[in-house]
A = this chain, B = another copy of it.
């Protein structure tokens, strides 16, 4: 079955199925979290955080198996790529092709948060057609926040509130000043001063540039309104779609970390391109994100101002970010 054969009605049916799947999977995550909590249900557990990792890994695997099975039963001809099944394989090749409708699923994003029971964790489900995510469902059960989008049908919070929350809000004229900047420290923790360093040093350089007062850092100071780190790429994208974050800049994610978020952000009117600045960052064309690139820069949905279209203002911010960030080093075969 070629993607082009999927009718609009059928896409709507798949969307409904995906939303219910997200709700059911999120409930599984929350049920497992509740089992670990003491108190109201009378369960008292003595739990070391080390042991928690095993419990979390089992939940992760169980939820992916549930989602995989549900999709295979309903849509046996669709392809499925999940974090757990992928990680178990040897290849790190990019697997989303253009020739099949492909589900791209992270059963649990924000794994560290989930381990520590910080509420910023979620399930993330996307459907890609022609290699592009067109349906996105993100459900964060501890926050009771469900983000959904389907191409042509808009993006929603909890099935009623349209995203972004504030429509047609222009981007601040002196951006990144006035913007909320979302970023993550990640897992690469090599000492920037040792050997060839690593991505942490590049990130710190970039974060500090974005934060420091205007005029500081040899003109790279961006004086953002706030710097936020939640520990979930998926939720970073969802909050960018909401308009809560103006800018999200990150490297190292895999496609299941971002596919649903990209679908929701695009449908809400946001822009996603690459994290790494091209040589001529002031004039270079701004490419659409490549899902498997592991390098992402997202700008929130915007409204026009008296002097710019929405897209022009988003592209202005992309260049202002590129001016201030250091290229990250994340490899990816086959993307």
Contact between B231 and A230, CB atoms less than 8 A apart: no
Residues of B within 8 A of A228 (CB): 118, 229-231
Contact between B112 and A37, CB atoms less than 8 A apart: no
Interface string of A169-185 (1 = CB under 8 A from B): 11010000010100001
Within 37-69 of A, Cβ neighbours of B (below 8 Å) are at: 37-40, 44-50
Partner-contacting stretch, out of A206-214, A259-267, A283-291, A326-334: A206-214
Residues of B within 8 A of A45 (CB): 166-167
Please, how many angstroms separate the alpha-carbon atoms of A191 and B37 in the complex?
Answer: 44
Closest CB of chain B to A328's CB: distance in Å? 16
- Known contacts: A161-B40, A166-B45. The answer to whether A50 contacts B231 by CB under 8 A is no
Interface string of A241-255 (1 = CB under 8 A from B): 011111000000000
Residues of B within 8 A of A192 (CB): 208, 212
Contact between A246 and B172, CB atoms less than 8 A apart: no
Residue ID in chain B nearest A112 by CB atoms: B226
| CB of A3 within 8 Å of the partner chain | no
Contact between B185 and A227, CB atoms less than 8 A apart: yes
Within 115-160 of A, Cβ neighbours of B (below 8 Å) are at: 115-119, 143-145, 160
Please, how many angstroms separate the alpha-carbon atoms of A200 and B207 in the complex?
Answer: 12
Contact between A191 and B221, CB atoms less than 8 A apart: yes
Interface size class of A (residues with CB under 8 A): 35 or more
| CB of A92 within 8 Å of the partner chain | no
Contact between A194 and B216, CB atoms less than 8 A apart: yes
| CB of A190 within 8 Å of the partner chain | yes
| CB of A223 within 8 Å of the partner chain | yes
Closest CB of chain B to A303's CB: distance in Å? 7
Residue ID in chain B nearest A239 by CB atoms: B118
Within 2-56 of A, Cβ neighbours of B (below 8 Å) are at: 36-40, 44-50
| CB of A93 within 8 Å of the partner chain | no
A39: contacting residue among B38, B161, B189, B239, CB under 8 A: B161
Closest CB of chain B to A230's CB: distance in Å? 7
Q: Most chain-B CB neighbours within 10 Å: which of A168, A169, A172?
A: A169
| CB of A1 within 8 Å of the partner chain | no
- Known contacts: A38-B162, A243-B117. The answer to whether A225 contacts B112 by CB under 8 A is yes
A38: contacting residue among B49, B117, B166, B190, CB under 8 A: B166
Residues of B within 8 A of A226 (CB): 112-113, 116, 185, 231
Please, how many angstroms separate the alpha-carbon atoms of A117 and B239 in the complex?
Answer: 9
Closest CB of chain B to A179's CB: distance in Å? 9
Contact between A191 and B165, CB atoms less than 8 A apart: no
Contact between A116 and B246, CB atoms less than 8 A apart: yes
Please, how many angstroms separate the alpha-carbon atoms of A243 and B117 in the complex?
Answer: 8
Within 66-121 of A, Cβ neighbours of B (below 8 Å) are at: 112-113, 115-119
A243: contacting residue among B116, B200, B213, B239, CB under 8 A: B116
Closest CB of chain B to A59's CB: distance in Å? 15
Residues of B within 8 A of A227 (CB): 185, 229
7 other contacts beyond A39-B162, A115-B225, with CB at 8 A cut-off?
A39-B161, A44-B167, A49-B172, A116-B245, A118-B244, A119-B244, A192-B212
Q: List 5 A-B contacts (CB under 8 A).
A: A38-B166, A39-B161, A118-B244, A191-B217, A227-B229
